Amino acid sequence: MADYAPVRGCIVVKPYGWSLYENMRDQLDRRFKDTGHSNAAFPMFIPMSFLQKEAQHVKGFSPELAVVTVGGGEQLEEPLAIRPTSETIIGYMYAQWIKSYRDLPILINSWNSVVRWEKRTRPFLRTTEFYWQEGHTAHATHEDSTAEVMRMLDVYADHAVQECAVPVIRGRKSLSERFAGAEITYSIEAMMGDKKALQSATSHDLGQNFARAFDIKFLDRDNTEKLCWTTSWGMSWRMLGAVIMVHGDDHGLRLPPKIAPIQVIVVPIFKNDSEKSSVMDTADRIFHIMKTAGLRVKLDSRDETPGYKFNDWEMRGVPLRIEVGPKDVANKTVAVARRDIPGKAGKSFIPQESIALRVPGLLDDIQAGLLAQATAFRDANIHEVNTYDEFKSAVEDGFALAPLVDDPAVDAKIQEETKATNRCFPLHQAEGEWECIITGQKVHERALFGKAY
């Protein structure tokens, strides 16, 4: 999937890993375009003065900035930050482009890489440079921008569930976890296979903060000048990390068919040259049937033992393996092995004549099976608690759902004492009134806590 780069905190993504990312990216890009967004590109160098225009924004990102002070062998008149995120440079451009209500809404997405100088790095989860998309929109009313924020949160959640088979919880970030410069931040949160939490995407209501900082105004229908309402939202290749950690097992990757670089691997099995000819002819024919059916398929004709090939493709997480041996040629059948169900339980024989119809259905079953397994695991490890002692025990073995006031001091106390962080206040939760586990105050919502990376 990836290797460490010679630059601290950076990784090199190998072709197989990049293919997985491309499949996820393409699925997400289609969703963006289906909701009316267009792609554009903006510079990676941002004048430091831009970042300083929005006070909370610069305060939030200052510790992570990489700054260029020399260019072409000369000291720059103004330092340039390497893009940590693009609200400021895009805000500047929107101020040039927007003059009238007729120019709104602007719905733009950008696929790019950003740099944040991380002290502790993990491949795909937290690296100095990482790839992502960031959407930036401008609207005439807060009602419209709020609808955009929630629409994109739902796009992310649906992509995570439907394509990545990763169950997520939609929620509002606490005040302490809110994006720097946002009025409200929403996120989708997932549980990994080790029961740790992973923030998988965010959607931000920026209010008029960046519009005020960059003078993004428009002349409304009533002939008065007004500030725009803006949003931003993003999902990085961290979701690729989530796929690895949610579905992987002791044998390697288990990839959902909708995003797997190779959906079907065809493995010919023969002992001698006399068997090879008929087996390879049949395997090649099956390969072309799968290709014609629109599947991502590969024929493994390497000069290696079947056992070596089986282990190799299991490690790579290919959802379905088709085995073709002399008996299969004679019986006009093939053996199919599902990656999501180990051993004999996941293996079956199907007629060659029906393979074009049966295999897509099997892939659908594997996709659904991975999601069902991940959902059951997550739900079994979310613990509703009502006291701090119960909370401390719960976060040692999963997530805790606890009544809590939205107070940065409370979040800080819990994190210091338990290492668990406030993931979000879930949007969908039971109605009721409880006592905050820290302050004893009456509250009407629970917060989701878990240990993270």
Question: What are the structure tokens assigned to 388, written together?
Answer: 């701090």
pLDDT, position 331: 94
In this model, does residue 428 exceed pLDDT 80?
Answer: yes
pLDDT, position 217: 97
The angle that helices 142-162 and 15-34 make with each other, rounded to 10 degrees, is: 140
Within the chain, all domains assigned CATH 3.40.50.800 are found at 264-362
In this model, does residue 266 exceed pLDDT 70?
Answer: yes
pLDDT range class, residue 453, cuts 50, 70, 90: confident
Give the pLDDT confidence of 150-178 residue by residue, as tens digits: 999 999 999 999 999 999 999 999 999 99
CATH 3.30.930.10 fits 2-247, yes or no: yes
Counting Cα atoms < 13 Å in the Cβ hemisphere of 224 gives 4
Question: What are the structure tokens assigned to 404, written together?
Answer: 């809590």
Superfamily (CATH) of domain 383-450: C-terminal domain of ProRS (3.30.110.30)
Can you state the percent helix, strand and coil of the chain, rounding each to 5? 40, 30, 30
What is the architecture of the domain spanning 264-362? 3-Layer(aba) Sandwich (3.40)
Within the chain, all domains assigned CATH 3.30.930.10 are found at 2-247
Give the Cα separation of 309 and 305 in Å (integer): 6
pLDDT, position 387: 97
In this model, does residue 56 exceed pLDDT 90?
Answer: no
Within the chain, all domains assigned CATH 3.30.110.30 are found at 383-450
pLDDT, position 8: 87
- Mean pLDDT, rounded, for 267-296: 94
Q: Work out the percent of the chain whose per-residue pLDDT is above 90.
A: 90
In this model, does residue 441 exceed pLDDT 70?
Answer: yes
- Mean pLDDT, rounded, for 268-296: 94
Closest C-alpha to 34, from 107, 123, 85, 88 = 107
